[in-house]
Every structure is written in C-alpha cells, then in structure tokens.
Structure 1
Amino acid sequence: MATSTIDRQYAQLAWAMGKTGVLGYGGGPSVIPLIRYEAVTKYRWMDDEEFGEILAIANALPGPIATKMAAYLGYRQKGILGSILSVLAHIVPSAIAMIALLSFVDYLSNSDVVQGMIVAVMPVISVMLGVMAYEFVKRAYKGLGKWMVVVFCGISFALLQLLAVHPAIVIVLFLAYGAVHFRFVERLKANKSRKPGGDAQ
C-alpha cells in the first residue's frame, strides 16, 4: 500500500508537470496559472498563500520561472528525486517537440495557420493571468486592506512602467518590505497585549 502511494505521487508529479510543459504556450508567465491549477486546485499540494510566496521568491531568482516552480514542487513532494523528475517531465516533452520541428522552423514561422494560432491563444493566456492576478489581489486585500493594495499597485505600476525598473528588483523590494511590515505588525500586537487589560476579553 505504501509503495503504491509513493508510485502514485511520482506519477502525479510527472503527469502534472508534463501537462504544464506541453500546454504552457507562450513562455513562463503563461505556464504559471497551469502550475497553480495542478498544485493548488487539483492535487492540493499547497494553498494559494504558499503558492504566491514561492512564486514571488522564484521570480526574484535567476532562471526560467516555470522550471523553478516545477523543481520546488517536486522537491516539496518527494525530495531531490521528485525535483529531478518534475523538471525533466516539464522540459523534456517540449525539448523533443522543438528538436522534431527544427527542420520546419522556417515554414512554420511564415505559416498563416501558425500566426492565426498565436493570435487566437493570446486572449486565453490573458484571461488566465488576469484570474490569477485577481486572486492574488484578493488575498492581499484580506491581509493588508484596501488602501494598502491600491498604494502598492500604484507603486508597482510606477516602478515597472514609468521608471522601467527590472521586475526582479521590484519583487525584492516588496519582499523586503513584507518582512519589515509583518514584523512591525507582530511587534505592535505584542506591545498591545502587554498593556494593562490588553489581553482581557
């Protein structure tokens, strides 16, 4: 029974990461909603909060975002072997497809059919990213409040679009602020509880 459970977990990792690698059309950001569905909704390996934290950390590190997420999910479930399996399942199918289609690159790049496919799939990717962004904003609203979310969204927009700051730098700045913010909140709660009557019901 235990062996079959372990084999099933490996199979789930391989199947989930294989699907995200094959169906994640358009690069790393378009794959993230697919990985989130597999990890949070379908298999429940983690909740939305943990997924958001890992996504933020992965964005701050160098390398392809989808591969880093696959490696983390595999390691979280089955250690080093699970991490290796997840990464291979995520990249090998796409690598094989790229090698197989290499001789047709020139034809495909000029094909009206392929261009039509690209145009058709872009709205789907936009909606998937929009839904994921909405859910993250909703969680931020619960944790920080409406005005803090508005201010942070405005700061993010200014840094990314107006000042053209690299996204990794913006993520690191907000991670640093988050650490300071929650420490400050915990300190305020601790001070309040120490006051006379602070723990009275």
Structure 2
Amino acid sequence: MAMFRTGILGYGGGPSIVPLIRYEAVTRFQWMKDEEFMEVLAIANTLPGPIATKLAGYLGYRLKGGWGAAIGVLAHIVPTCVAMVGLYSFINFFSTSQVIKGMIAAVVPIVAVMLGVMAYEFGEKAVKGLGWAAGLTFFVISFLLLQTFSVHPAIVIFMFLLYGAFHHKLKDKRNKNKKQLGKGEDV
C-alpha cells in the first residue's frame, strides 16, 4: 500500500517522488533509519533506470524477498500506467488550456520545496557527522565536479561512496589507536 500511495500521489518524475517514498519507509512504517535510506538512495542513483522504481523494488525485496520486489514495483507503477492511458485523451483536448498550464506550473515550486527540504536534512546530517569544514568542502567539490567539469552525477556519488567507506575505516582505526595509546600511558 505504501508504494501504491507513492504511485498515486507522486507527480513530476522520480526525484519528486523520493520524499514520498522516504516518508513511507522512514517515518510512517519505520522500515529503516534515515541514514540507511540516504545510503540506499545514493546507490540507487548510481544505477540506471527510474529512481522511484528502484526504491520501490528494494523496499519490497527487503520486506518480502523477490515477490515483495515485484509487488512493490507493480504497486508503484500501475497507478501511473492506468492514469496515463485514461488521461491521454484529456491531455490532448486541454493541452492549449491556460488553466491546465497554470495548474502544472503551480506544482513545480512545491516539488522544488520538497526536494530542497530533503537536501537540507541530508546536508544537516552530513555536517553533523563530518563537521562544517568537511561538509562545506565536500559540497564545493561536488558542485564544481557537477557544474564546472560536467562530471556525471553517478560518478560523483560513487566517488563519495568510496570516500565514505574509507573514511569510516580510517576513523575507526584512528580511534582504536588512540584507545591503545591511552591504555599504554596508564601503565
């Protein structure tokens, strides 16, 4: 039902549906923590295909295995497919209507705000975990890679995933060494 709701309520493509899926998975049903959702989202962004469908498939698989993945994907895409077939004639008829154009234009800022809130929350958690200097540095690096050097977003995400994997290993090793040094000073 959660993926069915995201399929019915989602409008504007995968990135606009991600906050709805996040709400269902993290807040409403508490299938995972926010940090895990961020990791799943990052990995899903590196893979080809629609992001919302990949998330629906992952959540279904996580909860009920292969059948759950199939049901999660179908529950997410069937409402959209039915709506597309049913509304195609209306779209052709009303395509020149100023009212319909205004309604569509009114949705764009809402989607932007939803994505902005999610980005702020993710950034806030990154700064909390890494500190302001590292968080700002990584933001600038990712901005430059994406905007100045036109590096594909999947490559940037993969680079930061690699960094995150090594960062935590190095941090754990450094903390372990500090504890051992502390014990040696007591003797």
Same topology, TM > 0.5:
yes
User: Any idea what SS the aligned residue of 1:165 has?
Assistant: coil
Identity, % of aligned pairs? 59
- Gaps in structure 2 of 5+ consecutive residues: none
Cα distance in structure 2, aligned partners of 1:125 and 1:103: 26
Partner of 2:172: 186
- Structure 2 Cα separation of the partners of residues 89 and 61 of structure 1: 21
| 1:62 paired residue number | 48
- What are the superposed Cα offsets for residues 93-131 of structure 1, whole Å, 9 maximum, x if unpaired? 100111122334433433322211111111111111111
Superposed CA offset, 1:57-82 (max 9, x none): 00011110000000011111111111
**2:119 matches 1:144:** no
Mapping for residues 68-147 of structure 1, pairs under 5 Å: 68-147=54-133
Deviation beyond 6 Å, 4+ runs, structure 1? none
Superposed displacement of residue 161, structure 1 = 1.4
CA RMSD of aligned residues (A): 1.6
CA distance in 2, matches of 1:47, 1:199: 39
Gaps of 5+ in 1: 1-14
Q: What is the CA-CA distance between 1:47 and the residue it aligns to?
A: 1.0
| Amino acid corresponding to residue 97 of structure 1 in structure 2 | A
* Structure 1 residue 36 displacement after superposition: 0.6
Mapped partners of 1:108, 1:64: distance in 2: 28
- Which amino acid in the other structure matches residue 35 of structure 1? I
Q: Distance in 1 between matches of 2:184 and 2:137?
A: 31
**Structure 2: which amino acid aligns with 1:171?**
I
Contact 1:193 1:199 in 2 (8 A): no
The Cα offsets for residues 162-183 of structure 1, whole Å up to 9 and x where unpaired, read as 2111111111111111111111
**What TM-score do you get using the length of structure 2 for normalisation?**
0.93
CA distance in 2, matches of 1:198, 1:53: 37
